[in-house]
Amino acid sequence: MINRWEIWVLVIVVLAGSTGCAANTTHDNTKKGAGIGAVLGAASGAIIGYQSDKKSGAVRGALIGGAAGGALGAGVGAYMDKQQTEFERQLANERAQHQIEIERQQNEILKLTMSSEVGFDFDSAVVKTSFYSSLNKIADIMNRYPQTDIAVVGHTDSVGNPDYNLRLSLRRANAVADYLMDQGVARYRLSTEGRGQLDPIAGNQTAAGRAENRRVEIYVMPN
């Protein structure tokens, strides 16, 4: 009869095996996703299998659950890998000019950071026409990868009234979201938030730091 400690040994074995199976990927996060999916699937499968068959059910459950969970985790990772590659390729010029940054975060989330200097005039929440082309590229990719949700978050520097800055950051986030919807991105996939001056990424003591803090971030999350 297998006990609960042996169940977790099986989970660890499945995790070790599954993380070695996803090496040939565009980004390492696919491999990581497969491992996380495998351990969760193995744990669930082992527990369910043990409840139905105290002798060997945990073994079978761990193997089946690990395989299924690993496939699911790898699938999500691969999906986000492809989307990230598309963003990097389509926005290569913007990245080279430091207008947009692309970052892969935990839990397979992609973050696109856009400078407010590029997207908006001073004290304005109207998207510049010169930035339409970049947002068109982003919208096109989002429309071709519908299994994601999108959060648009606006930020300002610390100059001026904090309440006004908070409202301005939300207006800018809404303006970007509205533009994406105009390009066909489904409304239900989009959410917006204004953070004002609450989350600086640089010091507000210098002009360069304040420019970094004035930004709009787009989070692309697997759903």
Regarding whether 108 and 47 lie in a shared domain, the answer is no
Greatest alpha-carbon span in the chain: 71
Regarding whether 216 and 118 lie in a shared domain, the answer is yes
Regarding whether 83 and 96 lie in a shared domain, the answer is no
Query: What integer pLDDT is reported at residue 146 of this predicted model?
Result: 95
* Final residue belonging to a domain, choices 87, 108, 129: 87
Q: 157-171 pLDDT, tens per residue?
A: 999 999 999 999 999
Regarding whether 143 and 213 lie in a shared domain, the answer is yes
Instruction: Examine the pLDDT at 55 and tell me if it is beyond 60.
Output: no
Query: What integer pLDDT is reported at residue 24 of this predicted model?
Result: 44
Tell me the helix, strand and coil percentages in the chain, rounded to 5: 60, 15, 25
Instruction: Examine the pLDDT at 60 and tell me if it is beyond 90.
Output: no
Regarding whether 96 and 83 lie in a shared domain, the answer is no
Regarding whether 83 and 148 lie in a shared domain, the answer is no
Regarding whether 106 and 121 lie in a shared domain, the answer is yes
* Final residue belonging to a domain, choices 26, 58, 87: 87
Run of H or E residues at 32: helix 28-52
* Final residue belonging to a domain, choices 87, 113, 140: 87
Regarding whether 107 and 205 lie in a shared domain, the answer is yes
The whole domain housing 136 covers 92-222
As a whole number, mean pLDDT of residues 50-74 equals: 53
As a whole number, mean pLDDT of residues 199-208 equals: 93
Regarding whether 215 and 163 lie in a shared domain, the answer is yes
As a whole number, mean pLDDT of residues 20-38 equals: 51
Residue 221 to residue 193: CA distance in whole angstroms = 15
What are the DSSP calls for 70-97, one per residue?
HHHHHHHHHHHHHHHHHHHHHTHHHHHT
What pTM, to 2 d.p., does this model score? Answer: 0.70
As a whole number, mean pLDDT of residues 53-71 equals: 52
Contact 112, 216 (CB under 8 A): no
Q: 99-138 pLDDT, tens per residue?
A: 999 999 988 999 999 998 899 998 999 999 999 999 999 9
Query: What's the mean per-residue pLDDT of the chain?
Result: 80
CATH code for the domain of 216: 3.30.1330.60
Regarding whether 216 and 112 lie in a shared domain, the answer is yes
Query: What integer pLDDT is reported at residue 23 of this predicted model?
Result: 41
Query: What integer pLDDT is reported at residue 20 of this predicted model?
Result: 47
Phi-psi region of 217 (alpha: psi -120 to 50; beta: other; left: phi over 0): beta
Q: 186-200 pLDDT, tens per residue?
A: 999 999 999 999 999
Query: What integer pLDDT is reported at residue 34 of this predicted model?
Result: 53
Query: What integer pLDDT is reported at residue 214 of this predicted model?
Result: 94
Q: Indicate the number of domains in the chain.
A: 2
Regarding whether 153 and 56 lie in a shared domain, the answer is no
Instruction: Examine the pLDDT at 65 and tell me if it is beyond 60.
Output: no
As a whole number, mean pLDDT of residues 206-219 equals: 94
Regarding whether 97 and 138 lie in a shared domain, the answer is yes
